[in-house]
C-alpha cells in the first residue's frame, strides 16, 4: 500500500493506492471525528459489481443512492434527486458523502457534498483508471446543456482510497482509455517516466499487471507536482 499526501492551499489529504486496501476506509472515516451518517453515491454498474464489498466495511448507519452510468448522472435532475434524498434521510453537517464509481460519479458526488448545507466532507473511492485521475484535485461539477462541467467548483476530498482490485472488472476499452491519462502525466515528469512506460508496456496484459500500482503512484506524484491552487 502506498500513500501520497496532496497539499493544496486549502487542505492536505492522503491518496492511498494498493491492492486489498478498502478495509482501511473505516480508519479514514474515524479520523474525521463524529460522523452522523454516510451517503454512498454509486452508479448502476458499480452497484452490481462492488457495492456489497464496500458496504461490508462501512458502519451500518449509511444510505445508498444509485445514479445512472457515465455522464448521464451529471444532470440538474439527478443532482436535485440526490439532494432531496439526502434531506429526506436527514443528513446534517456532520454527514459524509462517499463517491463510489467512475469519474462522473466522483464529479456528481463531490458537487453534492460541496453544496449540501454549504459543504460537507466527502471521500473518493474510484473504481476506474480515469476516476483515479479525476479523484485528485477537487474539481467537481455537473453538466449544462450548453457545455460539460459548466456548473461546479473546487471541493477537495478528505481522502482518496484507490483499491486496485476494482480494476479487475474493467473492460479492455476502459483500460486503454484510462491509461491515456497515465501517459499524459508521464510526459510532464522529469524522471523518465514516459520512457519507462514505453519499455514496460507493450500489451494490454502489461497494463493489467502488478506494475499498475507503481505506475499509478508515479502518476499521482506527477499530478501532485502541478501545485493545486484551490
Q: Please tell me the distance from the alpha carbon of residue 227 to that of residue 60, in angstroms, as a whole number.
A: 38
Please name which of 95, 106, 94, 77 lies closest in space to residue 39, comparing C-alpha atoms.
Answer: 95
Instruction: List, for residues 139-178, the tens digit of each pLDDT value.
Output: 999 999 999 999 999 999 999 999 999 988 988 777 666 6
Is residue 109 within 8 Å of 136, Cβ to Cβ?
no
Residue 3, strand partner residues: 16
Instruction: List, for residues 54-66, the tens digit of each pLDDT value.
Output: 999 998 779 999 9
Query: pTM of this prediction?
Result: 0.82
User: Does pLDDT of 228 surpass 50?
Assistant: no
DSSP 96: E
- Min mean pLDDT across 104-108, 216-220, 224-228 is at 224-228
Average pLDDT over residues 199-212: 62
The predicted structure's pLDDT at residue 77: 98
Amino acid at each position: 500500500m502506498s500513500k501520497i499526501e496532496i497539499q493544496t492551499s486549502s487542505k492536505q489529504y492522503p491518496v492511498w493506492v494498493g491492492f486489498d486496501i478498502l478495509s482501511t476506509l473505516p480508519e479514514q472515516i474515524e479520523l474525521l471525528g463524529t460522523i452522523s451518517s454516510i451517503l454512498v453515491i454509486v452508479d448502476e454498474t458499480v452497484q452490481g459489481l462492488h457495492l456489497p464489498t464496500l458496504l461490508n466495511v462501512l458502519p451500518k448507519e449509511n444510505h445508498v443512492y444509485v445514479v445512472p452510468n457515465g455522464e448521464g448522472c451529471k444532470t440538474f435532475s439527478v443532482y436535485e434527486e440526490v439532494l432531496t434524498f439526502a434531506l429526506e434521510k436527514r443528513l446534517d453537517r456532520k454527514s459524509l458523502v462517499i463517491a463510489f464509481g467512475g469519474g462522473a460519479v466522483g464529479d456528481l458526488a463531490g458537487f453534492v457534498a460541496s453544496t449540501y448545507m454549504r459543504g460537507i466532507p466527502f471521500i473518493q473511492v474510484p473504481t476506474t483508471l480515469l476516476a483515479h485521475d479525476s479523484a485528485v484535485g477537487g474539481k467537481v461539477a455537473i453538466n449544462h446543456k450548453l457545455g460539460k462541467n459548466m456548473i461546479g467548483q473546487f471541493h477537495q476530498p478528505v481522502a482518496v482510497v484507490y483499491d486496485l482490485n476494482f480494476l479487475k472488472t474493467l473492460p479492455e476499452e476502459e483500460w486503454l482509455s484510462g491509461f491515456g491519462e497515465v501517459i499524459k502525466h508521464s510526459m510532464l515528469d522529469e524522471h523518465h517516466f514516459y520512457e519507462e512506460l514505453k519499455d514496460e508496456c507493450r500489451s494490454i496484459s502489461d497494463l493489467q499487471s502488478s506494475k499498475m500500482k507503481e505506475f499509478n503512484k508515479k502518476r499521482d506524484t506527477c499530478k501532485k507536482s502541478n501545485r493545486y491552487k484551490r
